[in-house]
A = this chain, B = another copy of it.
Amino acid sequence: MSHTAGVRQAQKQQSRRALLDAGLRLLEHQNLSGLGVREVTREAGMSPAGFYRHFPGLAELGVELVEESLASLHGMIRSALAQRGAAEERIDRTVAVIAAHVREHQPHVRFLTRERHGGVRAVREAIGGELRRFAGEVAEALALQPVSAGWSPEEIAMLAGLYVDHMVSTAAALLDAPTEAERRRIARTAQTQLRLIGVGRRHWRAEAG
């Protein structure tokens, strides 16, 4: 359908990408709700009317960006969960994975953190829902670990939520950090925090409920 036969299709895809990239670029310093069609087409080097050959409106551009961003985030989470080895090592590598993702997908991550509680309901809910799905995946992975023996599903879910929230906070902090030194400091703090949570995990069953 799309893999052959198409100088036409290829050019169209290219223009579409140009629009998406232009939007993503503008959204680094702006909010989705404040974006304009003319603004995007200007940045993409296209006439305003051309926009409507690709999207019915800006909302749809936004949704597409959400999907892209979440797809890459999803990949990152799977990488983080795939870490093996001792707890210490896993923590360090997980934080490293997060830091690398933020570095390499800065515009996407910035978009997500900015619109996570932004003014566009559809986008907000898409992000929130997907984060909840991610928490579910994390919970599944946690359930398989020996440390979780005897934990109720609710307890595992609350731990997964804590991890996901922590990851989000850490990613946002890394984004805002102005210098490399600051980013390293944030990463180190995040590691220590995860270690503290890990200590709590190991003593949870003996102490609580």
Chain A interface size, under 10 / 10 to 19 / 20 to 34 / 35 or more: 35 or more
A18 sits at the interface (CB 8 A): no
Cβ–Cβ contact A196 & B200, under 8 A: yes
* A114 vs B33: C-alpha distance when bound (angstroms): 12
Partner-binding segment picked from A8-16, A99-107, A138-146, A201-209: A201-209
Say how far A65's CB is from chain B's closest CB, in angstroms: 15
Q: Give the number of copies in the complex.
A: 2
Interface of A, secondary structure class, is helix
Residues of chain B contacted by A64 (CB below 8 angstroms)? none
Residues A192 and B30 in contact in the complex (CB < 8 Å), given A165-B169, A176-B128: no
A118 within 8 A of B: yes
Contact of A158 among B114, B124, B192 (CB under 8 A): B192
Instruction: Given the known inter-chain contacts A169-B165, A192-B155, please indicate yes or no for A119 contacting B34, CB distance below 8 A.
Output: yes
A195 at the binding interface (Cβ < 8 Å): yes
Q: Does A80 contact B (CB under 8 A)?
A: no
State the CA gap A124–B110 with chains docked (Å). Answer: 13
Is the pair B161, A193 in contact by a Cβ cutoff of 8 Å? yes
Determine whether A72 belongs to the interface, using a CB cutoff of 8 Å to chain B.
Answer: no
Q: A197-B197, A199-B204 are in contact. List 5 more A-B contacts (CB 8 A).
A: A31-B34, A169-B169, A196-B208, A199-B203, A202-B207
